[in-house]
Amino acid sequence: MAYIEGFVVAVPAANKEKYRQHAEGALGFFKGLGVTRMVETWGDDVPDGKVTDFKRSVQAKPDEVVLFSWFEYPSKAVRDAANDKMMNDPSMKDDMGQDMPFDGKRMIFAGFETLVDDGKAGKPGYVDGTLMPVPVANKAAFRDWAVKMAAMFREFGATRVLDGWGEGIPDGKVTDFKRAVKAKDDEAVVYGWVEWPSKDVRDMAWGKMMADPRMQPDKTHPPLFDGQRMVYGGFTPIVDA
Q: Across the chain, what does the average pLDDT equal? A: 95
Residue bearing the bigger pLDDT, 67 or 90: 67
The full DSSP string for 36-89 is: SEEEEEEEEE----SS--HHHHTT--TTEEEEEEEEEES-HHHHHHHHHHHHT-
Residue type present at position 176: D
What gap in Å lies between CA 21 and CA 101, rounded to an integer? 10
Question: What is d(CA 85, CA 62) in angstroms, rounded to the nearest whole number?
Answer: 35
Burial class (CB in 10 A: 0-12, 13-18, 19+), 91: exposed
- Going by C-alpha positions, the residue among 240, 232, 172, 165 that lies closest to residue 202 is 232
Q: How far apart are the first and last CA of the chain?
A: 18
pLDDT reported for residue 88: 87
CA angle 210/202/228 to nearest 5° reads 50
The count of other CB atoms within 10 Å of the CB of residue 119 is 16
At residue 97, the pLDDT reads 47
Q: What is the number of domains present in the chain?
A: 1
> What percent of the chain is modeled with pLDDT above 90?
88
Enclosing domain of residue 8: 3-240
CATH number reported for the structural domain that contains residue 156 in this entry: 3.30.70.100
Question: Are the CB atoms for 57 and 8 separated by under 8 Å?
Answer: yes
**According to the model, what pLDDT value does residue 92 have?**
62
For the segment 1-48, what is each residue's pLDDT rounded down to a tens digit? 899 999 999 999 999 999 999 999 999 999 999 999 999 999 999 999
131, pLDDT greater than 50: yes
- How far, in Å, CA of 189 to CA of 205, rounded? 26
pLDDT in tens, 190-239: 999 999 999 999 999 999 999 999 888 888 889 999 999 999 999 999 99
pTM over 0.85: yes
